[in-house]
Structure 1
Amino acid sequence: MNMIFKDRFNNKVAIVTGAAQGIGKGVAERLAKEGAKTILVDRSDLVIEVTKSLQDQGLDALYVTADLETYEGFQKVVNETLKHAEHIDILINNVGGTIWAKPFEHYQEDEIIKEINRSLYPTIWGCRSVLQPMIANGGGVIINVSSIATRSINRVPYAAAKGGVNALTASLAFEQAPNNIRVVAIATGGTEAPERIIPRNENPMSEQEKVWYQQIVDQTRNSSLQKKYGTVEDQVSAILFVASDEAKFITGVTIPVSGGDLG
Structure 2
Amino acid sequence: MTRPSRFTARVALVTGAAQGIGRAVALGFAAEGARLVVADRSPLLEETRAQIAALGAEVEAVTVDLEAFAGAQALAAAATARFGAIDILVNNVGGTIWAKPYEHYAETEIIAEINRSLYPTLWGCRAVLPVMLAQGRGVIVNVSSIATRSIHRLPYAAAKGGVNAITASLAFEYSGRGIRIVATAPGGTEAPARRIPRNGAQRTVAEEAWYQEIVDQTVSSSLMKRYGTLAEQAAPILFLASDEASYITGVTLPVGGGDLG
For residue 106 of structure 1, the aligned residue among 104, 107, 114 is 104
Partner of 2:217: 219
Q: How far off is 1:218 after superposition?
A: 0.4
Write out per-residue CA displacement over residues 4-43 of structure 1, whole angstroms, 9 at most, x where no aligned residue: 1101000100100000000000000110110000111000
Distance 1:18 1:212 in 2: 26
Write out per-residue CA displacement over residues 145-202 of structure 1, whole angstroms, 9 at most, x where no aligned residue: 0000000000000000000000110000010012110001100011101100100001
Distance 2:125 2:54 in 1: 31
Unmatched tracts of structure 2, length 5 or more: none
Structural RMSD (CA): 0.7
Q: Which amino acid aligns with 1:218?
A: D
Partner of 1:48: 46
Q: How far off is 1:139 after superposition?
A: 1.1
Partner of 1:260: 258
SS of 1:123's equivalent in the other structure is helix
Q: Which amino acid aligns with 2:2?
A: I
- 1:74 maps onto 2:75 in alignment: no
Partner of 2:196: 198
Partner of 2:246: 248
Q: How far off is 1:121 after superposition?
A: 0.1
Give the TM-score taking structure 1 as reference length.
0.98
Q: How far off is 1:53 after superposition?
A: 2.4
Partner of 1:141: 139
Partner of 2:156: 158
Q: How far off is 1:59 after superposition?
A: 1.6
Write out per-residue CA displacement over residues 183-235 of structure 1, whole angstroms, 9 at most, x where no aligned residue: 01100011101100100001121111000000000001101111111101000
Partner of 2:176: 178
Partner of 2:89: 91
Q: Which amino acid aligns with 1:190?
A: G
Runs (4+) of structure 1 exceeding 3 A deviation are none
Distance 1:57 1:92 in 2: 20
Q: Which amino acid aligns with 1:44?
A: S
Distance 1:220 1:58 in 2: 38
Percent identity over the alignment is 61
Write out per-residue CA displacement over residues 27-83 of structure 1, whole angstroms, 9 at most, x where no aligned residue: 001101100001110001111122022213322111000000000001110111111
Unmatched tracts of structure 1, length 5 or more: none
SS of 2:96's equivalent in the other structure is coil
Distance 1:6 1:91 in 2: 19
Q: How many residues align?
A: 261
